[in-house]
Amino acid sequence: RPFVELTDVSHTYSTGGTLAVDGLSLKVSEGEFAAVVGPSGCGKSTLMKLATGLQFPQKGAVIVDGKEVSEPVKMAGMAFQAPTLLPWRTTLENLMLPLEIVQPHRSRLRKHRAEYVAKAEALLESVGLGGAGSKFPWQLSGGMQQRSSLCRALIHEPKLLMLDEPFGALDAFTREELWCVIRDLHARMAGKLTVILVTHDLREATFLADRIFCMSQRPGRIITERVVDFPRPRD
């Protein structure tokens, strides 16, 4: 069944009057790993914001998990190009952030903190960051910070993971290592986690995604859609 569905969506920013996406439609199934590729400025981040209820389109419909999006989608986890960790919090405390905000975790957190800490530590361990929980962001490399941001995006067990160029700032070696981390994480969720990755790197998209949407120049529309069914380099 479709998990994220945009139908003929158009959005103009009031600031500057930029028509960012125009008549955009796309369907991503539950559990799928989708990538959206397109030139810089074509409206990829706008598409992300529309799909997570951070912006609302003037035209068209955005449906996530069977419901029309009318407020920020709390079951979404997000990671961006630059890791957005708070510098005065340790890695572990940064991972706790979504739990402090999103219900029902928020009300459970006070009573079951030890349980959540164990979960955060297990998540860090799974991306090769065991022991980094007590470190501050500035004590970690860029790649380690990016991994921490990923863990934070997953800590509240989101059904939808939105990745907006999360590897862009990394060196080639670290980037490919993180690709494998993400594929493993997605595979482990066994159809329960839908991922939408925005990137301008076609190689990254073909390595990671089951389905690739290509956008036109701004105002963005989906111009082609491909199912990736060939074996990946690491399979």
Residues in contact with ligand ADP by CB under 6 A are 13-16, 18, 20, 38, 40-46, 55, 218
The least CB distance from residue 157 to ligand ADP, in Å, is 27
Residues 79, 165: contact at Cβ < 8 Å?
no
Length of the chain: 235
Residue number, 133 or 220, with CB nearest to ligand ADP: 220
Residue number, 80 or 116, with CB nearest to ligand ADP: 80
Q: Residue-wise over 81-93: b if at least 16 C-beta within 10 A, else e?
A: bebebeeeebbbb
Residue number, 43 or 98, with CB nearest to ligand ADP: 43
Residue number, 18 or 29, with CB nearest to ligand ADP: 18
Closest CA to 207 of 184, 231, 188: 231
The least CB distance from residue 45 to ligand ADP, in Å, is 3
Residues 198, 163: contact at Cβ < 8 Å?
yes
Residue number, 46 or 91, with CB nearest to ligand ADP: 46
Residues 166, 150: contact at Cβ < 8 Å?
yes
How many other CB atoms are there within 10 angstroms of residue 141's CB atom?
11
Residue number, 16 or 231, with CB nearest to ligand ADP: 16
Spatial separation of the C-alpha atoms in residues 177 and 170, rounded to whole Å: 10
Task: Note if the bond before 219 is cis, omega within 30 degrees.
Answer: yes
Q: In what helix (H) or strand (E) does residue 117 lie, and over which residues does it extend?
A: helix 113-126
125: Cβ contacts below 8 Å, ≥ 6 apart: none
The least CB distance from residue 155 to ligand ADP, in Å, is 25
The least CB distance from residue 42 to ligand ADP, in Å, is 4
Spatial separation of the C-alpha atoms in residues 91 and 85, rounded to whole Å: 8
The least CB distance from residue 159 to ligand ADP, in Å, is 23
Residue number, 14 or 107, with CB nearest to ligand ADP: 14
The least CB distance from residue 74 to ligand ADP, in Å, is 19
The least CB distance from residue 46 to ligand ADP, in Å, is 3
